[in-house]
Amino acid sequence: MKKIYRKEEGDIGIATLILFIAIIIVAAIASSLIIYVGVTLREQGEKVASDVTSQITSSLRILNILGDRDIDGKDPSVVSVKAPIHSDTQPPRGGVILNVSVNSTNPLSVKIVWNSAVDWESGMWKEELYRVSGDSFTAVKYIVKDVNYIKAVGNLVATFTSGFGNDRVYVDYGVNASKYYGYAIIGYDRVGNYVLYSAVNQTVYTGTGTPDTSAPTGSINSITPAGYGVMLSWTASDTGGSGIAYQKIYRSNNEITQSDVNYTKKIINNATLVATVGPNVTAYMDYPPAKGTWYYAILVVDKAGNVGFITKTSGVNVTRVDTTKPSSISGLRAETSQYYIHLEWSAAKDNQSGIKAYYIYRSTNYLDVSTTEVFNTKPYAIVNTTSFNDYRYMPYQTYYYLVVPVDNASHYGQIIVPQNSIQVLQIKLSLGPGSKPVDFNTVIVELTDGKVEASLKLNSSGFGVEAADATHYGVSVINDPSGEFTQSYILEEGAIIVMYINARDVGLTLTPQTKLTMKIIPGLGIPIYKVISIPPVMLNRYVQIY
């Protein structure tokens, strides 16, 4: 065994130290290299991440989703309301016939003067003036004291629906000489409660005098096409002295002749009554239901009941007619007062023949007023305004009212009632956290119900649910602090909008418990992917989905 001396031991120790130092130096160099590489990679990664982030940090956030069961998202045409607990059960008070007198100067007539009744609950609705005739004063006095007799044997001379008050006057020309006449007036309130007016004097003997027996005369000046209809112009006059009471305009697709007139009933057979107008009207716009040749005639009725017939033998060729329905009403609401139910709505539109009236249907059964079958029944009321007061009801009964616009061509507006499926989706959106502005001109929406697939883009030609159709979604603004979205459809921080998807037009079937897969893609941003379920029960118009 070799023996190691002290000097050799020292050489070994120095060598070991040198080796150790070398290892440390190599390790330091290696770690520096690793750190450098790590820093470089990190910087490159951050740059790449920054470049990517600058492209994809646009994102949207869904705040909620509502389903609208009304067709095309329109306001409903039907409203329900519980009637007031009180109703008007009292008849009007007062009402008196002050005087009845004969005017023997041609033409023979009777003048009636009276004071109207008053009604403090529902208010006055109408007054009916009846005339009865007999062989003596005793006979007519007996009849005019009983409402049932008056309505059974009397002649309804006139009905008044306005101008209630004192010292009202009406002149009756429908009398003959040497006759006993009695007059009665029945006043009604808006509920239908009535009172038979008392009388200071209500009977008269006409004696001598010449009644008006001459029929009115006139002519139709022109019948010309105008827009979507026909304009009539005519002149009429009464030579017997009583004056024109009203005029009835008729239309037919065949020539109307005098043989078609029933003078007793004051109607024209085989023709359609277009309108009844006042005594001073000399022009009227009619809207025939179809193209072709149409003929017109007018019955002019004077205050003595004489009927004049005017017509034009030549017809008018109509080549343009109204073929569209009016829009539905909006904003229908119902509220109650002490003695009535008040309905109010916003006007419908019709760009062709125009709105003629609003037909109101009422029922205690919702199904009776929710389908077009109701159009086969008589309307509960017809009004020309956008409000209606109903005074006739059973206290605390729930009623359903349908309000439908009808145009001058007799087209009915669409009935809008909640369907058994979602018709329109309303998606409330804002920017996602930290998102850059989103340009909705580049936002695409993809949907499927498992049967139908659709891809929708923004309809930039309008706002609201009306802009949503089979290939587009619509938008409306809830909050737009900068005004940028309203101007350019760019959603910025703090803005909130609603996106409308017309599921009905797209073809989606969103019945209870069905699923809808939806992806909202904001251009190059981060898409939103949602699978939503339609609730199993839908009771109201709006359904909370998300």
CATH label, 217-318, candidates 3.40.190.10, 2.60.40.10, 3.30.830.10, 2.40.170.20: 2.60.40.10
- The stretch 366-381 carries a mean pLDDT of 95
Third-level CATH fold of 60-73+419-544: Immunoglobulin-like (2.60.40)
The pLDDT tens digits for 103-137 are 988 899 999 999 999 999 999 999 999 999 988 88
Place of tokens 């109701």: 374
More confident call, 29 vs 243:
243
Pairing relation of β-strands 168-172 and 109-118?
antiparallel
> What is the maximum span of the chain, computed from C-alpha positions, in angstroms?
177
* Range 384-407 burial, b when 16+ CB lie within 10 A, else e: eebebbbbbbeeeeebbbbbbbbb
CATH number of 330-407: 2.60.40.10, 2.40.160.60, 1.10.645.10, 3.30.70.20?
2.60.40.10
pLDDT of 336 higher than 90: yes
Report the pLDDT value the prediction gives residue 35, as an integer from 0 to 100. Answer: 56
The residues spanned by each domain of the chain are 1-41, 60-73+419-544, 93-205, 217-318, 330-407
Q: What is the pLDDT of residue 15?
A: 58
Both structure tokens of 474: 């619509």
Work out the pLDDT band at 56, boundaries 50, 70, 90: very low
90 alpha-carbon distance from chain centroid: 34
Buried b (16+ CB within 10 A) or exposed e, 466-476: ebbbeebbbbb
Share the mean pLDDT of the chain. 90
Q: Alpha-carbon distance 340 to 101, whole Å?
A: 40
d(CA 165, CA 184): 17
Map residue 383 onto helix, strand or coil: strand
3-state secondary structure of 170: strand
Q: Assess whether the region 60-73+419-544 and the region 330-407 belong to the same CATH fold.
A: yes
Mean pLDDT is lowest, of 56-60, 392-396, 492-496, 538-542, for: 56-60
Average pLDDT value for residue range 378-390: 97
pLDDT tens figures, 179-192: 999 999 999 999 99
Give how far the C-alpha of residue 23 lies from the chain's centroid of Cα atoms, to the nearest Å. Answer: 92
Contacts of 154 (CB under 8 A, 6+ apart): 130, 131, 132, 143, 144, 184
We find that the CATH architecture of domain 93-205 is Sandwich (2.60)
Helix (H) or strand (E) holding 471: none
Report strand pairing: 398-407 vs 355-363. antiparallel
**What is the value of pTM for the model shown?**
0.79
More confident residue, 24 or 371: 371
More confident residue, 22 or 212: 212
Q: Summarize the confidence of residues 348-355 as an average pLDDT.
A: 94
Q: How confident is the model at residue 50 (pLDDT cuts 50, 70, 90)?
A: very low
CA-based nearest residue to 343, from 360, 355, 366: 360
Token pair 């007023």: residue? 369
Rounded to whole angstroms, how far apart are CA atoms 222 and 228?
Answer: 17
